[in-house]
Structure 1
Amino acid sequence: MPAHQATSVAPRQAPSWGRRLVGIEGLRGMAALTVIAFHVGHLTTPQVATVGQFHVLQYFNQGLTLFFVLSGFLLFRPFVSSLIAGSRRPTARRFWTNRALRIFPAYIVIVLVVNALGFSKTPNAGVEHPYGVVHGWQLLIDTLLLQGLQPMTLRTGIEVAWTLSVELSFYLVLPVLAAVGFWLARRRLPALVGALTPPLVLLVGALAGRYLLFEKLQGMGPVDAFAAQWGPTWTAVVARSLFLHADLFAYGMLAAVLYVLIESGHIRRRAVRWMRPFFALGALLALYGFFQGWGGAYGDGLVAITAALILLTAVVPGRNDKPGILGLFLELAPVRWFGLISYSAYLWHLPIIRWVQTNLPAAQDSRRGFLLSLALVLVLTTAFSALTYYAVETPALKLKAWFMARAKLRRAEAEPEQAPAADLVPVATPDAESEAGAADPKPVNVGV
């Protein structure tokens, strides 16, 4: 369709915060498994993780990149759906409430238990922090995910919690950037321009940040460069912030734009059938480029592109609206179930590795030692994660659904009466309205 031509094609399905896509839980599970394997190898059998058959483990930390790409895709998609449909923008208050209910309940429980057991990382002047129990202000800072704001507390508490601080920063920024996109669409620009603006802003900002960090590290040896990026330095605070990771979310957001265009019918189904093989080929090419060092300081971006294309390969249906081979694998019950508990697993696994190192004989630095350590950590992590998922995360998700229902009821009560009660007839199913608060779609200039 020409860019100047307006279109009134409505989405086939109304945008929804809660509708599950094929393979999403499975991808979360894969991301968590790779991060766990990376830390087990790096901390218990470092020689095996860097040389020999298992040297590929040194790249498994990129599971974090997949997590960020998934967040960008899933959280931006409702905004894009509403923008393309010409419906009401999801409210920032509900978005932030939902995110808080998703992140904090399990995190607070786990961080307090880990601290009580003496496995919190405590402030220290060196790159390697000792472990113990923290009290007072330090515990409050760790619990509120504020440790990333200053050098001395950057990696305290649960060591991987700095990534949650990056996520929270993204949550704060996303509704603001989305509002800019909606503002642009109201200025008679194509809706596609409004949808592409937020990810492009994040992408350009992060690429600029990565260039500045690269310049900062020029001339440093490996040890000094590592200390600058991971030690108690302001450089590390910036390096572990959204400023240098925003591009990873942006690639997921761009994938969300493409998916919504496909879902809403703005891209013809015949073209969609040809897209899926190119998604897979593009992912392989980007991954090959990463291993060949094409990206240099921007190598994580190639992994993010790979992750975004794999994500699209999984969620975009093939012929007859059936999932492909990747989607079927990701929907296997064990893979999908581990994805459900993956958030808790991500938080539990590193303290469990530290407990294993402290209380059990050191694993032999061999393939057998790695496999035994990985099996033990996975068993313990899965057990603790299932407990917190069903006892903490699931009730919090139910509370989130309760808040959504209350918000829908308030909106219904606030709507003016359109006709006498005797003449009222159902005009839409409950699913026709977005949980984000979408109004009836209006014709919009999509620009595709």
Structure 2
Amino acid sequence: MNAKRAAAPAHQTQRVGGLDGVRALCALGVAGVHTSFAAGVMGAYVLPPGNEALATLLAGLRPLALGPFFVLSGMLLYKPFARWTLTGSKRPQIGPFLAKRLARLWPAYVLLALVCVFLINFDAVDGPWYVLRPILMLQVYDYTWIAGMDPAWTVPAEMQYYLALPLLAALMHWLAKGVSDPVRKARRMMIPLVLITVGSAVWTYYIHRPAMGIYPHEYWWPLAVGGAFALGMAMAVLHVLAEIKPDHKPALYRIAGDHPLLFWIGALAIYAFNCSQPFGRPGYGDYEGVGLALTQYFLLLAFSYLTVMPLSIPGSRSRVVDAIVANPVSRYLGRISYGIYLWHFAIMYFWFETGSVFGTQPALMNQLRGTIGFPELMTAVLVGSILAATASHYLVERPIVNAVGKWAARKERAAAAATAPSQNSYTVAGPR
């Protein structure tokens, strides 16, 4: 094992299992928060919590659990582009990059959309656009509530940042190309990321103003999660800098690598503080006011950084952290975590037996609250979403991802072969 690690390229992340485990924890956390609301555990507006202690713990997790998903995406996907800018390596091919991202996100999402539209919301279908709208990920703009896809607004948000990433990478490359020192390059690369983070904070303030009302249509747009994605991209820059200058790693990078448990204790402290719901009500799932929304925006960034950073550093180890995120169960659930996130809300509607397949209009979750106890509903959600995610992973997602990955590899090899002769001819022709 040590020999394999020593032989691996320095830029390869050795803690993939740990990162999978974080995905599992986040997906299960989101499922637990939503289930507790549906079961009446968490309070909402005029309805008090059904269990104050459990509601307080879950309400504190509610805004934080999504953060690591976006941070991981920004970090892992931008890293090859950061290496292109900082080291002068070949730029990642845009076509294969986008094809692999589409294959990873879209097929499972389309499967969920078809199931929800035709089994839960069939009576609401009023034409082809009702079916095409969620498939094209446009229901967040032409706002339409589709029961079972309630939390899936984040998937279009993620996809739009995938599409924007090559453009951001080109802008950051342009800003950095005027200097040769990697540290100065990195500073210039951070300018767009800081602007995105500030812009997302301003957007968060805008959509939570009292004048906007509760859950305005703009809430579902992708702008509010830009800070987490930008944070992941900034972490990718730090990782590549650590590869280039291993003897001059940033202080926080060194501490995260040497003391990963310390970072996780910090993340736990942030979670505990958020359980108090500053500017809000502990144990309630109300729509946030401006003070609570902005506080949670910055807490999410800090929580996500402290959670993800130590796991993404090659060679960083902690027995406690590894026991939580690197065990076989966590790693497996992490591999299917996207499906767990997608399916858990639809499973609730099926368990409540509401929707077209049951001969009724799908009821709003507020109308269903408390009609099924938390232990029963949570068990149904866990078992159902894990089974659905497993089927989706092995029958839909993995075959498509593998097929597109093979196609992308062929394209990249062909591009490399086409580039090599031109480089050689240029070398020969130069002295003439």
**Do the structures match in fold with TM over 0.5?**
yes
Q: Which residue of 2 aligns with 1:245?
A: 225
- Structure 2: gaps spanning 5 or more residues: 1-7, 44-48, 280-290, 359-366, 426-432
The one-letter code of the counterpart of 2:87 is A
CA contact (8 A) 1:22 1:323 kept: no
Q: After alignment, is 294-303 or 261-270 more displaced? A: 261-270
Cα distance, 1:241 vs. partner?
A: 1.4
Q: What displacement does 1:106 show?
A: 1.3
The aligned counterpart of 2:292 is 296
For residue 384 of structure 1, give the secondary structure of its aligned residue in structure 2: helix
1:329 aligns with 2:324: yes
Q: Is the counterpart of residue 94 in structure 1 residue 96 in structure 2? A: yes
CA contact (8 A) 1:44 1:373 kept: yes
Query: Within 2, Cα distance between the matches of 1:303 and 1:383?
Result: 30
In structure 2, relative to structure 1, the CA distance for the partners of 1:273 and 1:191 (3 Å cut) is closer
2:150 matched to 1:177?
Answer: no
5 Å-filtered alignment, 1:124-143, equals 135-143=127-135
1:415 matched to 2:419? The reply is yes
Deviations 1:247-275 (A, max 9, x none): 12222222322333334444547965534
3-state SS of 1:245 partner: helix
- Report deviation, 1:246: 0.8
**Distance in 2 (alpha carbons) for counterparts of 1:110 and 1:60:** 25
Please give the per-residue CA displacement for 1:110-169, whole angstroms capped at 9, x wherever unaligned. Answer: 22123222x14x8xxxxxxxx755641110111111111123x26567222211111122
**Structure 1 residue 302, shift from structure 2 partner:** 0.7
Corresponding position of 1:205? 199
2:189 equivalent to 1:195: yes
The yes-or-no answer on 1:396 pairing with 2:394 is no
Work out whether residues 155 and 162 of structure 1, in 8 Å CA contact, stay in contact via their aligned partners in 2.
no
How far, CA to CA, are the matches of 2:327 and 2:133 in structure 1?
39
Counterparts of 1:228-267 in structure 2, within 5 Å, are: 229=215, 236-266=216-246
String of CA shifts for 1:372-393, please: whole Å, max 9, x gaps.
2211221111111111100001
Structure 2 distance, partners of 1:248, 1:45, is 30
1:68 and 1:248 in contact (8 A); partners too: yes
Determine the C-alpha separation between the residues in 2 that align with 1:256 and 1:347.
27
Q: Does 1:60 align with 2:53?
A: no
> TM-score under structure 2 normalisation?
0.78
The answer on 1:217 being equivalent to 2:234 is: no
SS at match of 2:373: helix
Q: Secondary structure at the match of 1:147?
A: coil
User: Retained in 2: the 8 A contact 1:44–1:370?
Assistant: yes
List aligned pairs for 1:423-438, cutoff 5 A: none
Distance 2:335 2:124 in 1: 30
Q: CA deviation at 1:14?
A: 6.3
Percent identity reads 28
How well do the aligned residues superpose, as a CA RMSD in angstroms? 3.2
1:187, distance to aligned residue in structure 2 (A): 1.6
Contact 1:349 1:381 in 2 (8 A): yes
Q: CA deviation at 1:97?
A: 1.2
Instruction: Give the Å deviation of 1:322.
Output: 4.1
- Counterpart for residue 287 of structure 1: 271
Task: Call closer, same or farther: CA 1:313–1:419 in 2, change over 3 Å.
Answer: closer
Amino acid of the residue matched to residue 217 of structure 1? P
CA contact (8 A) 1:363 1:373 kept: no
**For residues 343 and 311 of structure 1, do their structure 2 counterparts lie closer, same or farther at Cα, with a shift above 3 Å needed?**
same
Question: Which deviations, in whole Å up to 9, do the C-alpha atoms of 1:186-208 show, x marking residues without a partner?
Answer: 12262212432342221021122
Please give the alpha-carbon distance, in whole angstroms, between the structure 1 residues aligned to 2:110 and 2:34.
22
State the alpha-carbon separation in 1 of the partners of residues 206 and 247 from structure 2: 38
Is contact 1:73-1:254 (8 Å) kept? yes
TM-score (norm 1): 0.75
Structure 1 unaligned regions, length at least 5: 1-11, 123-130, 230-235, 421-448
Question: How far is the alpha carbon of 1:408 from its aligned partner?
Answer: 2.4
Number of equivalenced pairs = 379
Q: In 2 relative to 1, CA 285–41 (structure 1 residues): closer, same or farther, beyond 3 Å?
A: closer
State the match for 1:346 in structure 2: 341
CA contact (8 A) 2:242 2:248 kept: yes
Map Cα deviations across residues 274-307 of structure 1 (whole Å, 9 max, x no partner).
3444534543454355345287331132123112
Cα offsets for 1:362-416 (capped at 9, x unmatched): 99959x9312221122111111111110000110111122122212221233034
**8 Å CA contact 1:22, 1:314 repeated in 2:** no
**Whole-Å Cα distance in 1 between the matches of residues 154 and 424 of structure 2?**
52
Distance 1:407 1:351, change over 3 A: same
1:240 deviates by: 1.6
Task: Tell whether the 8 Å contact from 2:67 to 2:300 is kept in structure 1 after alignment.
Answer: yes
Matched residue SS, 2:89: coil
